Chains A and B, each alone.
Chain A
């Protein structure tokens, strides 16, 4: 009985692996940093956010919840010196600069959120054990759009959630859409990621 069971189990696992690999053909292409980020079918409540070309993005950027929520104060600010939040517009050289900077940061974040959503899977171990928490991740967006210097600024209390946030960002690799707006400069950002389990 055991032998038969193991055989069937192995066959089923192999079958599913094959199916997943075939399924994966498209997402694998999307995952490549050069290719534009699109949502996969996993997302059941796609938020209102741009999902197509660069121009469309620019036009509809204001429609994303991220940007409309506080349009004049960046949710995440960049600060080349220490990477900490600096929501004071007065610290900026001038209002126009602040406006375009805020817009850039918002655009970067919108793309980051979208890319995160496209790749995200709640870690099954954390889901099983009901682990939730908030990870603050620090990162640098290089002038060419690559994400680098990923680090955990504050832990969720669960190593697997911290690691998952880091790995998801590492898989995102780069933000090709907003790259051109960087104008050759790199940005430091701080991204809180909240892992939350909800009742069905």
Chain B
């Protein structure tokens, strides 16, 4: 049990586990064990759960890094990742979009503890409502993953794992923060891992007066978010069962189209019952029953948008021989979407089911992955997606991969039944080819380089043959096509107290019909993450420099490039107490993420955290 405790401890301190350069190492160390025998210690690098880093572009953000970033929502955390563009309609809690590698904001799947939380009304998830206080780890996969994760995974997957108890550990934490715009947070969490069972709860409250979301607005756009993460799990007769629940509820002030200040209530959440078992030594089976909700209720009218989805995901992993891992799965989703917007709306039940298979073979220096998924959707019938990837380890320090994958996005309910609704829409589909190489330059330095080309067809857009003022009604159609070519370069330096991470992306996200750069996506971005930690002190700076982009697909508004720098500091005032501070937008850069909407100028935040983990002696 002690070894598993060590594992959880490491887990919490997970660094940016981008690289699994040394796929296998076998140090022969004397283990200060309780018995006199000198053990063989066999180690391998942990793999990300969402995708294998040897065959894809994977970034892992661990708890320690989440805390150090002092991010107040997940979007603030993800903005310093290369290849992720943020669009934001104002300050805290305002609608936020994420564009992965130049794809659309609804081309990314977001999973919380394995349950998809993308709304079915409009595909883009509510990034602004995800409180980092609930989160243990985030895995980001850039590049398509529809074969395992289904619809929307054209640009990538963001998988969020909420906090869990470590084995034989009781962890109590609490924190408060205050800052500009009366931005306050309070969080309390208790986690206990016993022998064979675990349970825990985190609750948090975020409030902010915010600032007027629109330029010219006079009243502040406030925000309040109450979040809870709770779980209980244990092993009985070889089956590990866990019931978990995450929910964020709150209120957002915003400005409507006529620039009147209004507000809406939101609820985002998921509940999951996960059963895991190993019926045979080589067979692991996971059955997950999930429920996800995404509700928005407008307070000044009867407008609303609700998604409730029940999912069943049954995944089986079979090791065949010493080198082959076969995954077989079945997925079923029943989704209820209901919305009213300016008097018109829909109330739709949509069912999707899918079968998927993946085989991953790793032997010696080579890895090969082949995957296939057949999806059946109420609206468009059957759709197939596939993936092939090959990886080669040239030396212990250098490896490369090549992959080809197709992906799709099912038309959401608004596409089919909202304004311009067309129930005959096909899915948007993509073909992505990618090459990547990753190398350990020295003991302290790593670098990676990736090039990709993603061609997306049948993109859904509103088409009105005689213009907005003409008598003929317009309709959503699969008319657009996009081509995104890009290259990503990253460098990481870790030595003693220093950590430096530099990443850049250069891409050309192009609408092939108009030959215009896709809206709100920059051609070039550079990010810098750096920190220096010395005993109780830590200092850090995060920076993002990005070039200009169009505000929309049709207007001629160009949003200028910008540089945002955030300064971070931490001081451990006592073993269990940590004080952190952040200066957001140090140089008070005036930048625009969405035309007409304001962004945060220079702002200050201070937080105090308490965390105590106790490890009762495990029984031998």
State which of B40-48, B111-119, B577-585, B592-600 sits at the interface with chain A: B40-48
A5: chain B residues within 8 A (beta carbon): 372, 384, 386, 388
Kindly list 18 other residue pairs between chains A and B, CB separation below 8 angstroms, not including A117-B26, A125-B317, A196-B41. A1-B386, A6-B372, A23-B365, A65-B30, A69-B30, A69-B38, A74-B36, A85-B37, A116-B42, A117-B40, A125-B284, A127-B44, A130-B7, A191-B40, A192-B35, A194-B41, A194-B42, A200-B21
The answer to whether B28 and A66 have CB atoms under 8 Å apart is yes
Lowest 8 A-B CB distances belong to which pairs? A75-B38, A122-B44, A159-B281, A192-B39, A69-B30, A125-B319, A47-B28, A9-B370
Interface centre among A132, A162, A195 (most CB of B within 10 A): A132
B46 and A1 form a contact (CB under 8 A): no
Specify which chain B residues have a CB less than 8 angstroms from the CB of A190 in the assembled complex: 37
Report 24 cross-chain contacts, Cβ distance below 8 Å, ordered by A residue: A1-B384, A9-B388, A12-B368, A13-B368, A43-B26, A44-B396, A45-B26, A73-B36, A74-B36, A112-B40, A121-B24, A125-B325, A130-B49, A133-B3, A158-B281, A159-B280, A160-B281, A167-B322, A192-B37, A195-B43, A196-B43, A197-B44, A198-B44, A200-B53
Instruction: Confirm or deny: B366 has a beta carbon within 8 angstroms of a beta carbon on chain A.
Output: yes
Task: Give the tally of cross-chain contacts (CB within 8 A).
Answer: 202
Q: Evaluate contact between A113 and B372: CB separation under 8 angstroms.
A: no
Q: Which residues of A contact B49 (CB under 8 A)?
A: 128, 130
Q: Which of B357-389 contact A (CB under 8 A)?
A: 359-366, 368, 370, 372, 384, 386, 388
Given A65-B30, A191-B39, A160-B46 contact (CB < 8 Å): no
Give the contacting residue for A20; candidates B38, B42, B364, B396; CB below 8 A. Answer: B364
Is B29's CB within 8 Å of the partner chain A? yes
Set A134, A160, A199: member contacting B14, Cβ < 8 A: A199
* A35 lies within 8 A of chain B by Cβ: no
Give Cα A111 to B223, complex, Å. Answer: 65
**Residue of B with least CB distance to A27:** B364
Distance between B382 CB and nearest chain A CB, rounded to angstroms: 10
Residues of A within 8 A of B495 (CB): none
Are A76 and B317 CB-contacts (below 8 A) given A2-B372, A198-B44? no
- Name B's A-contacting residues (CB within 8 A): 3-4, 6-7, 10-11, 13-15, 17-31, 33, 35-47, 49, 53, 62, 278, 280-282, 284, 317-319, 322-325, 359-366, 368, 370, 372, 384, 386, 388, 390, 396
Q: Is the CB of B42 within 8 A of A193?
A: yes
Take A64-B28, A65-B28 as given contacts and tell me if A192 and B368 are in contact as well, using a CB distance cutoff of 8 Å.
Answer: no
Residues of B within 8 A of A12 (CB): 368, 370, 388, 390
Q: Is the CB of A196 within 8 A of B370?
A: no
Q: Closest B residue to A118 by CB, please name it.
A: B26
The listed residue (A73, A157, A200) touching B20 by CB distance below 8 A is: A200
The CA of A134 and the CA of B35, in the complex, are separated in Å by 12
**Interface residues in A122-141 (C-beta closer than 8 Å to B):** 122-125, 127-130, 132-134, 136
Residues in B whose Cβ lies below 8 Å from that of A195? 42-43
The reply to whether A194 and B22 contact each other, CB–CB distance below 8 Å, is: no
Output the residue of A24, A120, A196 with the most chain B CB within 10 A: A196
Residue of A nearest to B370 (CB): A9
* CB of A107, distance to nearest CB on chain B (Å): 13
Q: Does A151 contact B (CB under 8 A)?
A: no
Bound complex: CA of A109 vs CA of B280, how far in Å? 31
Residues of B within 8 A of A2 (CB): 372, 384, 386
Chain B residue at smallest Cβ distance from A19: B366
Closest residue of B by beta carbon distance from A133? B3
- Cβ contact of B42, chosen from A8, A13, A129, A196, cutoff 8 A: A196
Identify the closest chain B residue to A156 (Cβ): B3
**Nearest B-chain residue to A158, judged by Cβ:** B278
A162 to chain B, nearest CB (A): 8
Closest to A69 in B: B30
Q: Nearest Cβ distance between residue B619 and chain A, in whole angstroms?
A: 14
Report which of B15, B22, B40 forms a contact with A192, defined as CB distance below 8 A.
B40
Q: Please tell me which one of the listed residues A76, A117, A199 contacts residue B37 in the complex, with CB atoms under 8 A apart.
A: A76
Contact for A124 among B31, B33, B46, B323, CB less than 8 A: B323
Which of B13, B17, B30 is most buried by chain A, counting CB atoms within 10 A of its CB?
Answer: B30
Partner of B364, one of A23, A112, A123, A193: A23
Which residue of B has the minimal Cβ distance to A46? B26
When the two chains form the complex, which single residue of B3, B28, B33 contacts A113, counting CB atoms closer than 8 Å? B28
Q: Which residues of chain A have C-beta atoms less than 8 A from B10's C-beta?
A: 198-199
Interface residues in A89-130 (C-beta closer than 8 Å to B): 109, 112-113, 116-117, 120-125, 127-130
Is A53 located at the chain interface by the 8 A CB criterion? no
**Interfacial chain B residues near A1, Cβ < 8 Å:** 384, 386
B209 shortest CB reach to chain A, Å: 40
A49 at the interface (CB under 8 A from B): yes
What 0/1 pattern do residues 45 to 57 of A give for CB contact below 8 A with B? 1010100000000
- Given A125-B317, A132-B7, also A85-B282 (CB < 8 A): no
Q: Any chain B CB within 8 A of the CB of A146?
A: no
Whether the Cβ atoms of A20 and B27 lie closer than 8 Å is no
A87 within 8 A of B: yes
Interface flags for A149-164 (1: CB within 8 Å of B; 0: not) read 0000000011110110
Q: How far is the CB of A191 from chain B (nearest CB, A)?
A: 6
Chain B residues within an 8 Å CB radius of A116: 40, 42
What's the least CB distance linking B130 to chain A, in Å? 23
Q: In the assembled complex, which residues on chain A have CB atoms less than 8 Å from the CB atom of B25?
A: 43-45, 198
Q: Which residue on chain A has the smallest CB distance to residue B367?
A: A16
The residue in chain A whose Cβ has the minimal distance to the Cβ of B62 is A199
Residues of chain A within 8 A (CB-CB) of B11 are 199
Chain B neighbourhood of A81, CB < 8 A: none
A185 at the interface (CB under 8 A from B): no
Contact A121 B28, beta carbon cutoff 8 Å: no
Q: Return A33 CB to nearest CB of chain B, in Å.
A: 19
CA distance A54 to B428 in the complex (A): 65
Known: A8-B388, A200-B22. A66 touches B3 (CB 8 A): no
Contacts of B36 in A (CB 8 A): 70, 73-77, 85, 87
How far in angstroms is the closest Cβ of chain A from B277? 11
- Least CB separation from A134: chain B residue: B3
Let me know if A132 and B364 touch, CB within 8 A: no
Q: How far is the CB of A9 from chain B (nearest CB, A)?
A: 4
A47 touches which of B14, B26, B35, B359 (Cβ 8 Å): B26
A18 CB to nearest B CB, Å: 11
Among residues of B, the one whose C-beta sits closest to the C-beta of A73 is B36
A129 vs chain B, min Cβ distance (A): 6
